[in-house]
Structure 1
């Protein structure tokens, strides 16, 4: 038995009090509005909040009517957050319960909702947060980093979303919807310039081609110079620079009872990969070492990142009167290569010169996807009878086939390649699903959904060799046969097949026209995962994980539509959760299944016009997560202070630990104040701030690999004229120049990486 229960956490009374208040106060405020009152003329003309439309239930609805915890980002807030050439990680902590991090930089974001995600950095991994771009799922983790430009709205749906969005969405879904073509001629051009010779250009133009055809073309280009100097005479003089471009072309046909929207898109990224820095954490603390200089490193390995992706989709719909038929066909493909100096320094401890700090041995690796294809097809029919009962049903098909290459290099011998592995993974899946809505009374509505999925994966090691520092080095060369000899059955392939049923049930009760109460229970699952055998570990296969979540909340408009508050509480359980034990003293990466993990907490989204010229938003969330498996133990780092109980063999017992990269608290606030100038101009100030509490980087708990709380803010000061058609602004991101370790490498020293630097600049936008 483990002594770990003493470490188990319970939600604080303070957190529960806030959650209860968040549920009660808006309903009380809205009910108070029902009392007869004479409205002052100033209130009658006051600015009110716009209705927010979402597609959380695969159809357009008012966000206040949807019985799901969902947040959106759009409009000026989206414009401000994307200033300065930021990638999709800008959303992290800007939405309650959402965290995004990456050990690949811009190429491979990892999403977490309510503390539930996946830290695995391998290119054949899956995530429990699904990303959907223009109604097409982006399954491979590299596809999830597509740039955010010319976007109408971002929706964050908290999970599970297994019924309507399918597998690999037990934690939730992040949806991006591009601005659609229209018959009206319009578009915009935007150019920004900032520190480190940063350039950010994007633009779009669209309009009618004929009475039935319209089109829209969008482009993006971003670049930044290296801002970190390499003081060691290695193959790179500097790091953290990039240039990135992307484009999207859409064509829309609108006929009598038929609509077709076609989309072609592509992305190119060239730059440096995530920069690892050796021994930047002070032993016995989680502080940066004295004298740490974020602008300098000393590494002897090559750092480089390349990425090319392309895709196309066709969204067709037929209006058949009482029914509507949809067909969504999607194709995605990506090629990528990322190489980095994993030890974060130069030399090795057994050489005359090495550093900074202790470098046990040199490690320089790369991973890439040379070939990839993903095909998706969905057919869906929905009713539109105008009665109290409506439904939708569909069929989903998924097919993916790709290779993953892994390389190792000898940094001490001019960077020559000394290892290689190539695997092939295929994934074929199909599902049938349905959902129904029943308006029991004008005030009470029930919804239910169900999905049955068959999901099959197959992984094969096609080539392997290694002459470097690995167990079979004494044989002169590791081969595919020697690798197979490490397996109990001598088989390097795996082909798990899952058959899962997911469902959800929810209810909405309208207290009045301004207040809705809702409750929901839902299930979801993530398919089996496979990790190929390597030099330091054998093949590992993780069984599918399943989740069940309960949530209840309130959605209310009050103060005469000048304020809105959506709040809810939740509890979820994940059975057989897939975890990745990364590194440790043995440098092995293996997949594990935890018996169970749980999460509980609350979320709140609030926005209000405090005056006609001052709009304030506030988002807050509390997430208490815990691994529950008394016998689960993992390898630990060789140079850090582990605080978990240990087995006789030195492994850490992780029962009671919070999930990795799962902050308990996140808060975000924005404020936008404007002052009219003349007849059609405005001077404005927009500021945004985000906070997340401390996080564990790995499954075990240690002093050094506990990330400190992080606060980052932004500021935008500008002037727009001609009724907003033209806008000139100065901006700053990470305005306080906060520098924190946001991730680590579980190597044999205290290697880590830090957050993005402060960026300041100017931006001009013209719309037409």
Structure 2
């Protein structure tokens, strides 16, 4: 039934009408028997909560997941709202050992989970960490831009996956689950306004249409928030300008069949975050001196005319994303068949000033036209209480992409001094078969194993590199294919009702690909090879004091072969360029954990901790720092080669994030919640062995919020602040021609949010 009266305040750990509730989480009963490794079917996250007559609720969410042998971080929509997580980048504020970096301040993102990931500006390769939205794997991470609204929950799973669903990966996955249609009529809206005229608006409506047929329509609009200015003319940069819609139609023709059709569209014309030049690598001309919230940019009329954009173009997006998916599930009694079909489309136009100066030394405009079709079939046993749990399935994915990169180097003299365009196409197809089985033995011991076989074929075609007014280079096509096995084997032991121990070994596989953004010689198109990793993981899930203390932790060791990272290639008489390559042998190890504490009625604390180290054991490549230094001294490009054996992989060693909430009744009808949140990230090397300005400095951020809500929970008002200390920090960086750049993080924001749900 729907929550009424003082249920929300009781859930918040405050007392109304003599009834005390322990937490704000939905009630989740702990099973009497140990759950098998295979997850239980997901409950409808949009369904109204029930209120227990006894007034007792559990302090922590996802109680049933405490019996699953994984190290996933599971986040409710409420937790994401409390922390102000509205995009993929914000997930690193609420999960351990996770880094999500915007590429040059744009909508494109790169994921690093437990230090595993790579920097792929072209976004034409499969990443080590995949993004899923409603069980649909997105071939290119940019396709998930603007999808984080009307969410039910988010799950971040590190390590190799793929034996139970979807596609094999080496680094893990980020799964977004949006809310489904409801059988009762609901609607709601929220308005968030903050510093720098930032506005975020969301709304939804959901309910029945006819017997067995229901719908949900949700949307969001984002405006403003740009906090950068150009010191040369005071021009403003960084305003958001986007909208998105999602529609779902759910049909249950009978008690055993569910058909869910979903479609979405997203339009993004937001400005991007400009870079700050840190050091000039070549030449003696000074770099601009700008403040933390300042950046320079330029777009010459000749360049905007060439790319078909209006004069005075600011660094910005011009993107459309749309797609549709169909989920069909039928319970045949002993088995359930699930089908997931999806088609996703990306149309991107993106201008960035990659020299961060008023000169045209590395102005870049890229266009992407891409689409992806996926089909998944799964057959599994229906009853989660059975000792034997199993799932088998098959997965198919086909994607097509065409990209164009325009560069304005007219002020980069004497090295270039021209405008240039590179174009290419990409064709990719993959199939896989997977299976996973677990069996619960006497003594609360569960054995589990999984196997996956994947075949991937991809080719880069029609690549040309044209200098306007000069030469045109045509390159022949390259292709790469891979067929490998991945799998998992492990054991879990339910040592006590609230204590689970597990150990597992997992092999992950990821196909190879191509580097193709600024190609000058055929050797740049040589494909990099597949990546494999063997991961050993030991984990603990426990509620040693139920409703008071929860401790989840995992330790891991990764043994990599041909790990894919962004290295360097030197083009004679041109300079160093980034090149995705393979590290023959590398390793990483570490641990992560989450502690939830509810020591007394009003106080709730969550602390995530991640620590990891990694080294290259064999990695011969060009040392970019020494190569740049040699050119600066001698005026000649000469590759200085090194083997980075024994060198740290450069990923942040320590990541911390958490929050504290105090929940207090202020009257019989109202409650207030308030508290701080925090984030710490260690230093990150941007090139192998990077030191000095080749390394992002560590940073610490502090935020806070206070929320007032009535007992009915039909509305709430929140005041919040992020980066309260107004710390200067940088989220990513890189090199463009003669300068090394950092992308700055946002300054202090103070805002308010009003929401209602009826």
TM-score range, shorter chain: 0.7 to 0.9
Is residue 2:722 matched to residue 1:729?
A: no
Counterpart contact for 2:170–2:532, Cα < 8 Å: yes
Counterpart contact for 2:38–2:438, Cα < 8 Å: no
| Greater displacement, 217-226 / 400-409 | 217-226
Offset at 1:80?
1.9
Cα distance between partner residues in 2 of 1:425 and 1:104: 23
Cα distance between partner residues in 2 of 1:459 and 1:626: 31
| Change in 2 beyond 3 A, CA 1:651/1:462 | closer
Is residue 2:144 matched to residue 1:154?
A: no
Cα distance between partner residues in 2 of 1:539 and 1:271: 32
Cα distance between partner residues in 2 of 1:531 and 1:712: 35
Offset at 1:82?
2.6
Offset at 1:342?
1.4
| Change in 2 beyond 3 A, CA 1:184/1:581 | same
Q: How many residues align?
A: 681
Cα distance between partner residues in 2 of 1:55 and 1:344: 54
Counterpart contact for 2:552–2:593, Cα < 8 Å: yes
Counterpart contact for 1:232–1:299, Cα < 8 Å: no
Q: Which residue of 2 aligns with 1:139?
A: 139
Cα distance between partner residues in 1 of 2:379 and 2:163: 15
Q: Which residue of 2 aligns with 1:418?
A: 419
Counterpart contact for 1:717–1:730, Cα < 8 Å: yes
Counterpart contact for 2:717–2:753, Cα < 8 Å: yes
Q: Which residue of 1 aligns with 2:330?
A: 318
Q: Which residue of 1 aligns with 2:119?
A: 119
Is residue 2:497 matched to residue 1:513?
A: yes
CA deviation profile, 1:275-311 (whole Å, cap 9, x unmatched): 122236999xxxxx99751232333335222211001
Cα distance between partner residues in 2 of 1:578 and 1:147: 28
Offset at 1:119?
1.2
Is residue 2:673 matched to residue 1:684?
A: yes
Name which of 371, 378, 381 aligns with 1:380: 378
Q: Which residues of 2 match residues 341-356 of structure 1 at below 5 A? A: 341-347=353-359
Is residue 2:748 matched to residue 1:758?
A: yes
Look up the SS of the partner of 2:182 in the other structure: coil
| Change in 2 beyond 3 A, CA 1:649/1:379 | closer
| Greater displacement, 263-272 / 103-112 | 103-112
Name which of 234, 238, 241 aligns with 2:239: 241
| Change in 2 beyond 3 A, CA 1:418/1:102 | same
| Change in 2 beyond 3 A, CA 1:422/1:51 | farther
Look up the SS of the partner of 1:589 in the other structure: strand
Look up the SS of the partner of 2:587 in the other structure: strand
Name which of 539, 542, 555 aligns with 1:553: 539
Cα distance between partner residues in 2 of 1:677 and 1:67: 41
Instruction: Name the TM-score, length of structure 2 as normaliser.
Output: 0.84
Look up the SS of the partner of 2:389 in the other structure: strand
Q: Which residues of 2 match residues 640-655 of structure 1 at below 5 A? A: 649-655=639-645
CA deviation profile, 1:5-44 (whole Å, cap 9, x unmatched): xxxxxxxxxxxxxxxxxxxxxxxxxxxxxxxxxxxxx999
Cα distance between partner residues in 1 of 2:431 and 2:747: 44
CA deviation profile, 1:622-652 (whole Å, cap 9, x unmatched): 111111215344433766799xxxx995234
Q: Which residue of 1 aligns with 2:588?
A: 599
Q: Which residue of 2 aligns with 1:76?
A: 78
Name which of 275, 295, 298 aligns with 2:296: 298
Offset at 1:162?
3.2
Look up the SS of the partner of 1:63 in the other structure: helix
Counterpart contact for 1:633–1:654, Cα < 8 Å: no
| Greater displacement, 542-551 / 49-58 | 49-58
Counterpart contact for 1:221–1:244, Cα < 8 Å: yes
Q: Which residues of 2 match residues 299-448 of structure 1 at below 5 A? A: 299-301=297-299, 302-347=314-359, 362-369=361-368, 371-384=369-382, 387-410=386-409, 412=411, 418-448=419-449
Counterpart contact for 1:637–1:746, Cα < 8 Å: no
Counterpart contact for 1:634–1:651, Cα < 8 Å: yes
| Change in 2 beyond 3 A, CA 1:387/1:726 | closer
| Change in 2 beyond 3 A, CA 1:51/1:404 | farther
Counterpart contact for 1:596–1:629, Cα < 8 Å: yes
Is residue 2:477 matched to residue 1:477?
A: no
CA deviation profile, 1:449-490 (whole Å, cap 9, x unmatched): 1111111001102543113xxxxxxxx622134xx4xxxxxx
Q: Which residue of 2 aligns with 1:355?
A: none
Look up the SS of the partner of 2:693 in the other structure: coil
Q: Which residue of 2 aligns with 1:739?
A: 728
Cα distance between partner residues in 1 of 2:418 and 2:224: 29
Cα distance between partner residues in 1 of 2:417 and 2:365: 12
Q: Which residue of 1 aligns with 2:602?
A: 613
Cα distance between partner residues in 2 of 1:55 and 1:686: 37
Counterpart contact for 1:48–1:561, Cα < 8 Å: no
Look up the SS of the partner of 1:296 in the other structure: coil
| Change in 2 beyond 3 A, CA 1:214/1:649 | closer
Cα distance between partner residues in 2 of 1:55 and 1:587: 52
Offset at 1:337?
1.3
Offset at 1:529?
0.8
Q: Which residues of 2 match residues 55-204 of structure 1 at below 5 A? A: 57=38, 59-60=40-41, 62-82=64-84, 86-165=86-165, 167=167, 169-204=169-204
Q: Which residue of 1 aligns with 2:4?
A: none
CA deviation profile, 1:122-158 (whole Å, cap 9, x unmatched): 1312210011110000111311333311111110111
| Change in 2 beyond 3 A, CA 1:343/1:587 | farther
| Change in 2 beyond 3 A, CA 1:336/1:648 | closer
Cα distance between partner residues in 2 of 1:402 and 1:502: 27
Q: Which residue of 2 aligns with 1:33?
A: none
Cα distance between partner residues in 1 of 2:567 and 2:350: 22
Cα distance between partner residues in 2 of 1:521 and 1:306: 44
Look up the SS of the partner of 2:402 in the other structure: strand
Cα distance between partner residues in 2 of 1:464 and 1:280: 29
Offset at 1:208?
1.4
Cα distance between partner residues in 1 of 2:689 and 2:520: 20
| Greater displacement, 515-524 / 252-261 | 252-261
Q: Which residue of 2 aligns with 1:501?
A: 485
Instruction: Name the TM-score, length of structure 1 as normaliser.
Output: 0.83
| Change in 2 beyond 3 A, CA 1:130/1:228 | same
| Change in 2 beyond 3 A, CA 1:92/1:533 | closer
Offset at 1:202?
0.7
Cα distance between partner residues in 2 of 1:540 and 1:107: 28
Q: Which runs of 5+ in 2 are unaligned?
A: 1-17, 30-34, 43-63, 300-313, 632-636
Counterpart contact for 2:122–2:517, Cα < 8 Å: no
| Change in 2 beyond 3 A, CA 1:565/1:60 | farther
Counterpart contact for 1:195–1:759, Cα < 8 Å: yes
Cα distance between partner residues in 2 of 1:154 and 1:125: 24
Offset at 1:722?
3.7
Cα distance between partner residues in 1 of 2:36 and 2:138: 17
Cα distance between partner residues in 1 of 2:80 and 2:225: 24
Is residue 2:578 matched to residue 1:589?
A: yes
Q: CA RMSD in A?
A: 2.9
Look up the SS of the partner of 2:647 in the other structure: coil
Look up the SS of the partner of 2:117 in the other structure: coil
